[in-house]
Structure 1
């Protein structure tokens, strides 16, 4: 088992110590890099926003596609369930 430790992520010039395993470090670094990239985009769109405002705006912009993907997943699951039900009905009639 990998040892849990503290990983330090730097976001908007501030360090955030996060307790995570060595296995989680890569994904945390990728998440921090994505957040930094999106914060930079938000900074261009909202040049007068404070750091806190930039983080909130960026978080909202990251949440929208996440919610959309969740909805798409639910719709795909519903379609799959309907197909399975239809196949089951057809198998019962044959």
Structure 2
């Protein structure tokens, strides 16, 4: 990891993203899904909802840091609740 001067948390973050993409690829192949319409009134698939979750979580973490709302691990709990809501209702 020295070649990119990464820290372990940074590497873990990208490994989790890669694992999510791999998992969702396997799910899409094994269990094809038809798009569904949720609260946003747009058709979304699992992959669309994952993208919305990742993008929203990035903005939530930036807001958490910018507004100094407390320890950063609490932002993870907010992001997990946001992810559950996206996958349930979007």
Same fold (TM over 0.5): no
Of structures 1 and 2, the larger Rg is shown by: 1
Q: TM-score range by the shorter chain?
A: 0.3 to 0.5
- RCO higher in 1 or 2 (8 Å CA, sep ≥ 6)? 2
TM-score if structure 1 supplies the norm length? Answer: 0.38
TM-score if structure 2 supplies the norm length? Answer: 0.40
More strand by share: 1
